[in-house]
Amino acid sequence: MKVIKYLLLLLLIVIIGGAIYFGTQDGTYDVAVTKNMNAPAEVIYNNVKDYKNWEAWGPWMKTDETMEISYAEKTVGEGSSYSWSAEEAGDGSMKTVKVIPNKEIDQKIIFNTPLGDSESDVYWRFNENDEGGTDVTWGMKGEQSLMEKAYMAFQEDDFETTLKGMFQQGLDSLHQVVLKELENYSVNVNGITRYGGGYYMYMTTAAKQSELSEKMGVMYGQIMSFMQDNNIQMSGMPFTIYNEMDNATGSFIFSAAIPVKERIITPQGSAVQTGFMEPTQAVKTVLKGNYNNLGKAYAEAQAYIEKNNLNRDPSTPMFEIYANDPGEFPNPADWLTEIYIPIIPQTPSN
């Protein structure tokens, strides 16, 4: 009996000593990982803000096949939440408590474990950088309970290492999901339509394929400045007229143009001029996606023309209208371009 008493006393001493030891250890933590992503902050933020998107890149979603997700009625923005249950990862829930659109997301996460409930603060930061991308930070801070500190002391990796590994894996997966989202595009050949024409302000220059975007940007800026200085209102979205193309050299003579309601008399020698486009019959094709997919859209338009035995009108140049402003749509997958390839009107058969 004395031996048992001594063993129980020794066990009690070990327990008390362990409690004192772990109780004196600092359990506070603030662990974060930052990744530079090649995407606009708004696009990344829009993905992260909706809990339903997390299944595609959340690291714990892939490590426990038994995990079952339950979504609240609201899954986006402040007050949104979701919960989960899993045999290995345990049960838990998360709630969004604060958002600053495209900048910050703050959340509360609760883990329900055999060691008791544990609550921590989760935070996201989206900071656009000088390289044209976004530095995305995913972090969590809080304080470990006595039992959690004791449990982690016997794990292969410490708490910070484990958490950083999960955040890094999640950010890497999120980056791939976002990059794929940016690449989405669709092409729809609407068929033959009639474009109404009208007046426009324009500038013309020559460029190689690789120079088009840069030169267009500069020219549209100059045209807009001219119009603002002279109180001229635009009456439609900007467009580009391809006056001449040399397929052998990959060069173009093109005009950057902005529609106006009426003819504008410009000063002699002005770089910005007024033009007029006659109403024309054309095959209209709509590209939804990045401008680097325009070649595919033109190919589908040309295939439609050939399939339907249509003839291009050599007297009227092709043109493309930028139906929405990229400045208002940070995701290139949302950009709309209308392509018009003029054709010779068909004579109705008797």
User: Distance between CA 241 and CA 223 in Å, rounded?
Assistant: 15
Q: What is the reported pLDDT for 21?
A: 38
| Residue carrying the six token digits 């490590």 | 63
Q: Which two tokens stand for residue 152?
A: 């982690």
Q: Average pLDDT, whole number, for the chain?
A: 86
Helix (H, G, I), strand (E, B) or coil at 91: strand
Q: Has residue 241 got a pLDDT over 60? A: yes
Q: Has residue 8 got a pLDDT over 50? A: no
Q: Please tell me what DSSP assigns to residue 249.
A: T
Q: Which residue has the higher pLDDT, 97 or 3?
A: 97
Pair 200, 274: CB distance under 8 Å? yes
| Residue carrying the six token digits 């209209």 | 284
Nearest CA to 206 among 195, 194, 219? 219
Beta bridge pairs of residue 141 = 30, 121
- Tell me: the pLDDT tens digits for 260-315? 999 999 999 899 999 999 999 999 999 999 999 999 999 999 999 999 999 999 99
User: Distance between CA 177 and CA 61 in Å, rounded?
Assistant: 15
Q: Is residue 349 very low, low, confident or very high in pLDDT (cuts 50, 70, 90)?
A: low
Q: Is residue 67 very low, low, confident or very high in pLDDT (cuts 50, 70, 90)?
A: confident
Average pLDDT over residues 160-182: 94
Out of 127-136, 232-241, 246-255, the most confident range is: 232-241
Q: Which residue has the higher pLDDT, 68 or 49?
A: 49
Q: What is the reported pLDDT for 147?
A: 44
* Reported pTM: 0.80
For the chain, domains (ranges, CATH) are 23-182 (3.30.530.20), 186-342 (3.20.80.10)
Q: What is the reported pLDDT for 143?
A: 78
- How long, in residues, is the chain? 350
Q: Is residue 328 very low, low, confident or very high in pLDDT (cuts 50, 70, 90)?
A: very high
Average pLDDT over residues 40-69: 89
User: CA–CA distance from 45 to each of 137, 168, 225, 330 (Å)?
Assistant: 11, 17, 33, 11
Average pLDDT over residues 209-227: 93
* Phi, psi at 312, each rounded to 5°: -70, 145
Q: Has residue 167 got a pLDDT over 50? A: yes
Q: Residue 58's CB: how many other CB atoms inside 10 A?
A: 19
Average pLDDT over residues 22-27: 46
Nearest CA to 54 among 186, 185, 166? 166
User: CA–CA distance from 62 to each of 26, 46, 232 (Å)?
Assistant: 31, 22, 57
Beta bridge pairs of residue 321 = 239, 338
Q: Is residue 32 very low, low, confident or very high in pLDDT (cuts 50, 70, 90)?
A: very high
Average pLDDT over residues 103-118: 83
Q: Which residue has the higher pLDDT, 211 or 36?
A: 36
